[in-house]
Amino acid sequence: MYLSQEFPVFGDWFYIHFTENRGMAFGMEFGGDWGKLALSLFRIVAVCGIGYVLFTLPKTTHKGLKICGALIFAGAIGNILDSAFYGLIFNESFNQIATFMPAEGGYAPFLHGWVVDMFWFPLLEGNFPDWLPIWGGEHFLFFRPVFNVADASISFGIGFIFLFYKKFFKKNEEEVIEAPVAE
């Protein structure tokens, strides 16, 4: 596919849309080439930390929390691999279909590549009402971000941790220390 090419999968609410994310979540960029390198190195350190925590969790840790941690870990590794190697093995895809292993080399050095995003769910589209103070009359599209499997894995892992926080971090009865009652 070429950059921004898309085709519908299910009607008007789910598309495969090819885009390349040059930065981090939602396309935010961080300080040019040095920022990209710093972001890539931070991701690697964070994944090492997450992996260490996952592999040292006690056996009594809730199974759901372990699954959520594994989703976050796997998604982060997927995005790191994409960012590290995609720029080395493909050429620029702007106004053309990218070539795998071009003779002249890829478009970016190690750890400077872009992450490919492809899922787009434009669920609801319209205009804000005119009476709305800041955005009145402006066009909106609900669920604008384009994402990939790794992003979804990270988002579901974090979302389920928030959703089931009390269940995952439930204290055992003997761990609860009661404060003495003042008489």
* pLDDT of 154 strictly over 90: yes
Residue 47's pLDDT is what?
95
- Does residue 130 contact residue 136 with C-beta atoms inside 8 Å? yes
33, 82, 130, 151: the active-site residue: 151
Q: b/e for 162-174, b at 16 or more Cβ within 10 A? A: eeeeeebeeeeee
- For 100, which DSSP code? B
Task: State yes or no: is 151 an active-site residue.
Answer: yes
What band does 172 get if pLDDT is binned at 50, 70 and 90?
low
* pLDDT of 51 strictly over 80: yes
Q: What is the dihedral of CA 108, 110, 114, 118, to 10 degrees?
A: 120
| Share of residues in the chain with pLDDT > 70 (%) | 91
Q: CA-to-CA distance for 57 and 111, rounded, in angstroms?
A: 30
In the chain, where the domains are located: 6-20+30-129+136-169
- Does residue 83 contact residue 113 with C-beta atoms inside 8 Å? yes
* pLDDT of 30 strictly over 80: no
Q: pLDDT tens, 94-149?
A: 778 888 898 888 888 888 888 889 999 998 889 999 998 888 889 988 888 889 99
Distant-in-sequence, close-in-space partners of 93: CB < 8 Å, separation ≥ 6: 2, 3, 18, 20
Q: CA-to-CA distance for 163 and 181, rounded, in angstroms?
A: 34
Mean pLDDT check: name the lowest of 13-27, 37-51, 62-76, 146-160. Answer: 13-27
Q: pLDDT tens, 53-86?
A: 999 999 889 999 999 999 999 999 999 999 899 8
Q: Dihedrals φ, ψ of 7, to 5°? A: -150, 145
Task: State yes or no: is 117 an active-site residue.
Answer: yes
